[in-house]
């Protein structure tokens, strides 16, 4: 959540005894999380060694073996519990608002130290723009990957000759089997981390300063790595079975142990997803990529059948958190959201203004996912939020550029002479960073390309609010926007909301430079003016609200912890009173597939029950607080529709309430900005550089900031969707 406390209030809270106590508690929690994290990493490091598998792991199994959890208890304790504990503690930290206080408490030296780690380390290449801290984690992951492969192969090859003689096979065949097994085991390293980046409300990502949108590239890299390893794992085993006359192994589904058929089904599902995720195919047929990606359900279910639930506990934590996040998003997506108004721009873009619960707070540069059932019931498209929860108390806005079948259909209907009558909309989110403290910079340079201006609009509105209400000196702002055509300049008319503002715009030192690259002079012919459409409310529609209320992080932590406890109780009852009387913890009698299926069922039931209960409770509390959806006043329409369900108003650009912004814009034609010169001329001890645009533009700015041109440049790359 975004804190709305003033600097004076924050300072008073920090100096109070309760503030000192809270800082002490947070410090203890961080230290505890650090200990858990180091311990969890040590497990990954020692896992490939014989010391772990032949001594430590059997000893832990012996100590934790019980009639309630069997041998799975040790795997849950070692692999699953540390991450779920970290996620729960992270939720508590975020609930206490530690990030806002930390930002105010940090010394300039600490800020400079953290900023140096966030500077771009790699600018060009297949990895895109990578900061020093990202590069550090990448190096550690590669080191773990190489260490695991070398350690497993070294230990397996040491006994290759003896095993080959015992099995009456060639040494190279035995080593090939060892390589196949190693590739499968190491593939689980990538699979264990694969789902963390795609959990949109992840406390783990937030406490390390990442968002799901910014870390989606890690999911892509890990996906390629996992499928490469698993494909090689399968091919090596096929060759091994063929050379040792065991090809019939491909058709075996063992009652106990590894089930080869299940692994083959999982691999086929993974290959289908992998093929559709090839960049060229994904860009041309995104819908096909989206639909085939739902095969992850088949992949994971049969993966668990293949290796057994006990071994699957290695990758369970990330998937467990993803399941909670996915189910909560499903619950939120069932609500129909009220569309208050829409602004149709002549550049084939439309701004949608949704009703918002006043209690919903979010940071600038957040994003939402929008679904229009009338166009497609299955397609959800991400869009950057242009509104500010501080500036726009009762509305949430997004801008959609007509680019693609889905967006073109929506624009055509809203721009027609008789717009569609109160279309149904569903919204997921918003998702974004935990906080955004732009006031720490003396100067802010914003660089956007095309529709990349949309997340910057939310930042400008936030800074305008803070300049008028927090009493501090607002930073100087230079907005550099690059467009292809003159018509695209109308995107600048969205800087202020459709209802205007009562804030003093002069307090915001904003300078706008716009560059039109494909035209040599202003467009002479007239074009259709900006059109505003106001919709009357539908009683069944609801405002956009936080899925878990105002204390979202606290409730999320409760869902993670309570659902896990319920799952353990159900699994304990199943093992003690059904499986143990049959198997007696031998893992040799009761079917592993049946055990895995029941555990997966209990896991889903635990998450669904807990999340639904918390969701319904918060929904009830939200309705009680709001009473009922208030009907917003609409302007007197110039053209009313026959049905009376909406009103249309047209405005010339010069008559917009933010005329001062339009007049302050300097427009350059048939040229691109000299970003190196512009950034080198900026004055200030701390200059924040925000970039939102095509990859080439982000790489250019990142290269300038990392070149040592000026030590006071702090690079921030924003992901945008439109």
Residue 640 lies in a domain: no
Q: Is the dihedral of CA 207, 208, 209, 214 positive or negative?
A: negative
Query: φ, ψ for residue 360 (rounded to 5)?
Result: -85, 115
**Tokens 């047929």 — which residue?**
285
Compute and round to an integer the Cα radius of gyration of the chain: 28
367, 211 Cβ separation under 8 angstroms: no
pLDDT confidence of residue 203? 87
343 and 424 in a single domain? The answer is: yes
- Overall number of domains in the chain: 2
pLDDT one-digit tens code per residue, 433-455 = 766 666 677 788 888 888 888 88
Is residue 132 situated within a structural domain? Answer: yes
At 648, which helix (H) or strand (E)? strand 646-651
- The fraction of the chain above a pLDDT of 90, given in percent, is 22
User: Same domain for 607 and 520?
Assistant: no
Structural domain including 85 reads 23-99+119-330+552-615
Q: What is the pLDDT of residues 332-356, one digit of tens each?
A: 888 888 888 888 888 888 899 998 8
Is pLDDT of 109 > 60?
no
In a domain, 204, yes or no: yes
Q: In CATH, what number is assigned to the domain containing residue 416?
A: 3.40.50.80
3-state DSSP call for residue 666? Answer: strand
User: Looking at the domain assignment, is residue 656 inside a domain?
Assistant: no
63 domain-assigned: yes
pLDDT over threshold 70, residue 685: no
Position 249 scores a pLDDT of: 87
CB contact at 8 A, 596 and 590: no
Q: Tell me the pLDDT tens digit for each residue of 362-379.
A: 888 888 899 888 888 888
266 and 347 both lie in a single domain = no
Examine the domain organization and report whether 80 and 215 are in the same domain. yes
- In this predicted structure, the answer to whether residue 254 has a pLDDT above a threshold of 90 is no
Torsion of CA 13, 17, 22, 24, to 10 degrees: 130
592 domain-assigned? yes
> Which of 111-125, 274-288, 477-491, 691-705 is the least confident region?
111-125
In sequence order, what are the residues at sequence separation of 6 or more whose Cβ sits closer than 8 angstroms to the Cβ of residue 97?
Answer: 1, 3
Q: Is the pLDDT assigned to residue 175 strictly greater than 80?
A: yes
- Same-domain status, 609 and 465: no
623 in a structural domain = no
38 in any annotated domain: yes
- Say yes or no: 538 and 577 in one domain: no
Q: In what order do the strands lie in the sheet with 426-431?
A: 381-384, 367-371, 426-431
């Amino acid at each position: 959540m975004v804190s709305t406390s003033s600097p004076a209030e924050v300072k008073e809270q920090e100096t109070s005894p309760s503030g000192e106590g809270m800082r002490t508690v947070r410090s203890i929690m961080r230290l505890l999380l650090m200990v858990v994290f180091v311990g969890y990493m040590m497990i990954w490091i020692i896992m490939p060694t014989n010391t772990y598998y032949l001594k430590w792991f059997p000893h832990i199994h012996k100590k934790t073996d019980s009639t309630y959890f069997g041998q799975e208890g040790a795997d849950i304790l070692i692999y699953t519990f540390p991450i779920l504990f970290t996620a729960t503690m992270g939720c508590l930290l975020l609930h206490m608002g530690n990030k806002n206080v930390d930002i105010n408490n940090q010394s300039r030296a600490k800020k400079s130290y953290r900023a140096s780690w966030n500077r771009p380390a790699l600018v060009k290449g297949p990895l895109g723009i990578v900061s020093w801290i990202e590069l550090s984690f990448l190096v550690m992951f590669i080191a773990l990957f190489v260490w695991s492969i070398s350690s497993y192969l070294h230990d397996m090859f040491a006994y290759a000759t003896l095993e080959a003689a015992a099995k009456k096979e060639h040494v190279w065949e035995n080593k090939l089997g060892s390589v196949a097994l190693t590739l499968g085991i190491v593939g689980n390293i990538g699979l264990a981390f694969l789902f963390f980046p795609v959990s949109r409300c992840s406390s783990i990502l937030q406490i390390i300063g990442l968002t799901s949108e910014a870390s989606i590239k890690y999911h892509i890299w890990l996906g390629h790595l996992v499928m490469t390893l698993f494909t090689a794992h399968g091919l090596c085993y096929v060759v091994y079975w063929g050379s040792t006359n065991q090809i019939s192994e491909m058709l075996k589904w063992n009652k106990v142990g590894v089930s080869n058929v299940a692994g083959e089904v999982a691999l086929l599902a993974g290959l289908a997803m992998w093929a559709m995720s090839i960049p060229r195919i994904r860009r041309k047929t995104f819908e096909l990529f989206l639909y085939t990606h739902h095969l992850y359900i088949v992949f994971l279910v049969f993966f668990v059948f293949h290796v057994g639930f006990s071994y699957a506990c290695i990758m369970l934590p990330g998937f467990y958190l993803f399941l909670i996040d996915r189910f909560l998003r499903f619950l939120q997506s069932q609500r129909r959201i009220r569309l208050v108004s829409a602004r149709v721009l002549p550049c084939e873009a439309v701004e949608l203004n949704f009703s918002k619960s006043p209690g919903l707070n979010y940071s600038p540069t957040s994003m939402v996912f929008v679904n229009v059932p009338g166009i497609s019931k299955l397609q959800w498209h991400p869009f950057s939020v242009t509104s500010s929860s501080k500036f726009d108390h009762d509305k949430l806005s997004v801008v959609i550029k007509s680019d693609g079948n889905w967006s073109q259909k929506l624009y055509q209907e809203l721009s027609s002479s008789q717009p569609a009558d109160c279309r149904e909309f569903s919204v997921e989110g918003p998702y974004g960073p935990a906080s955004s403290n732009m006031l720490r910079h003396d100067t802010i340079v914003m660089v956007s390309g095309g529709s990349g201006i949309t997340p910057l609009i939310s930042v400008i509105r936030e800074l305008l609010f803070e300049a008028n209400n927090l009493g501090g000196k607002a930073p100087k702002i230079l907005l550099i926007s690059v467009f292809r055509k003159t018509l695209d300049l109308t995107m600048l008319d969205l800087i202020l909301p459709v209802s205007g503002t009562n804030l003093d715009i002069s307090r915001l030192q904003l300078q706008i430079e716009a560059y039109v690259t494909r035209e040599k002079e202003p467009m002479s012919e007239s074009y259709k003016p900006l059109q505003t459409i106001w919709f009357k409310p539908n009683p069944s529609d609801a405002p956009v609200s936080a899925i878990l209320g105002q204390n979202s992080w606290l409730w999320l932590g409760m869902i993670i912890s309570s659902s896990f406890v319920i799952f353990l109780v159900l699994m304990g009852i199943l093992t003690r009173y059904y499986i143990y009387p049959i198997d007696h913890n031998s893992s040799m009698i009761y079917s592993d597939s049946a055990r895995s299926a029941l555990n997966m069922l209990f896991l889903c039931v635990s998450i669904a029950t807990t999340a639904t209960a918390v969701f319904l409770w918060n929904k009830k509390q939200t309705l009680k607080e709001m009473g009922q959806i208030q009907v917003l006043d609409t302007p007197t329409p110039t053209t009313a529709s026959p049905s009376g369900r909406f009103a249309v108003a047209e405005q010339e650009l010069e008559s917009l309430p933010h005329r001062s912004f339009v007049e302050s814009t300097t427009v350059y034609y048939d040229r691109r900005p000299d970003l190196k010169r512009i950034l080198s001329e900026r004055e200030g001890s701390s200059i924040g550089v925000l970039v939102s645009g095509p990859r080439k533009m982000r790489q250019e700015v990142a290269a300038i900031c990392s070149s040592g041109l000026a030590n006071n440049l702090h690079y921030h790359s924003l992901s945008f969707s439109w």
